[in-house]
Amino acid sequence: MMAEQKHRAEILDGRQLAEQIKREVTEEVNRFREHRGVQPCLAAVLVSDDTASAVYVRNKVRASAETGLRSEQHTLPATTSTEKLLDLVTDLNRRDDVDGILVQLPLPKQIDEASIIEAIDPAKDVDGFHPINVGLLALGRPRFVPCTPAGIIELLERNKIEIAGTNACVVGRSQVVGRPIANLLLRQNATVTICHSRTRDLASVTRQADILIAAIGRAAFIRGDYIKRGATVIDVGVNKLTDPDEARSLFGAEAGKRIETIKQRGYTLVGDVHPAEADQVAGRRTPVPGGVGLLTVAILMRNTLQAARQRREMS
């Protein structure tokens, strides 16, 4: 008698889809430049000496070049004041040649983050964090959708994963991911539950979800018993792991490669979902890295093109 084949979740490849979206944006940017004679421009602002933040901004600038967008990087020291940063944002708002403004978050503690976000022209707010754009999304009339939530919807739709009528659970209630993805899922006619640190018996709630989205910033927190068999699991978390023994318990067959990465780099990345346990239960899941993060950058490029179009339609 043949042994039963061991279940393993299908991996949803964010890398491949991100490249596809960037190709689409490149084609649209070329058409826009031919029609309007203008090259859309993204201004990226970094206020930090943090290496990770610098890498994030560099990736966004590089993606701009790949898709035919013009980009500017404005780097300010970590000691910058709120007033100094507001002056830069005001200047970028005034400039007609700048279509999108991205201020890399988080900002240093001495800067009033809310006032910076609110100071960005909503028509150039390609991150979708300005209160006006947040409100439009909540009303079901989105202009700019935050990049990670928009990328998640693209991933689901292009993999033909049914959203309408499903039970969707979002673990995390941040303005960056949790709340906007809940609004987008509602627009797609899912029944949505948002969980957070005060949710009682979290696992009993998440186990009801056909689509489970984890965005809490806690390494491998979502275990196998939190997941409904056959569910689609979207892992938004990005956490550094430095312990080889922990990597061995988390990554199963992939552990050897991850331990080698720790030896070479000092760390490997793990999401908010326990990958080895999720593989035994979920129908599909996103990997970390190679999942949602790459889509975030691709959608930022698309939002910048959208901003360039909309600003010129209004002028």
Residue 56, pLDDT score = 85
Do residues 44 and 58 lie in contact, with contact meaning Cβ atoms separated by under 8 Å? no
Close Cβ partners of 132 (under 8 Å, ≥ 6 residues apart): 122, 125
Q: Which of 99, 121, 125, 127 is catalytic?
A: 127
Do residues 219 and 241 lie in contact, with contact meaning Cβ atoms separated by under 8 Å? yes
Half-sphere exposure (CA, 13 Å, Cβ side) for 146? 25
Do residues 247 and 269 lie in contact, with contact meaning Cβ atoms separated by under 8 Å? no
Identify the CA nearest to 110 among candidates 85, 87, 133: 85
Residue 314, pLDDT score = 56
Residue 233, token pair as written in the block? 């699991």
What are the tens digits of pLDDT across the range 277-291? Answer: 999 999 999 999 999
d(CA 71, CA 92): 12
Tell me phi and psi for residue 117, to 5 degrees: -60, -40
Lowest mean pLDDT among 138-147, 240-249, 305-314: 305-314
Residue 2, pLDDT score = 39
The reply to whether 263 belongs to the active site is no
Residue 3, pLDDT score = 41
Residue 313, pLDDT score = 80
Q: Which of 22, 60, 124, 228 is catalytic?
A: 60
Quick count: other Cβ atoms within 10 Å of Cβ 160? Answer: 6
Domains with residue ranges and CATH for the chain: 39-125 (3.40.50.10860), 147-294 (3.40.50.720)
Q: Which of 22, 99, 104, 125 is catalytic?
A: 104
What are the tens digits of pLDDT across the range 80-120? Answer: 999 999 999 999 999 999 999 999 999 999 999 999 999 99
The reply to whether 125 belongs to the active site is no
Residue 1, pLDDT score = 36
Close Cβ partners of 115 (under 8 Å, ≥ 6 residues apart): 82, 86
- Residue recorded with tokens 């890398």: 15
The reply to whether 188 belongs to the active site is no
- 4 has pLDDT over 60: no
- 5 has pLDDT over 70: no
SS3 249: helix
Residue 143, pLDDT score = 94
C-alpha distances (whole Å) from 175 to each of 90, 261, 272 are 23, 32, 18
Binning pLDDT at 50, 70 and 90, where does residue 305 land? very high
Average pLDDT score over residue span 35-49? 93
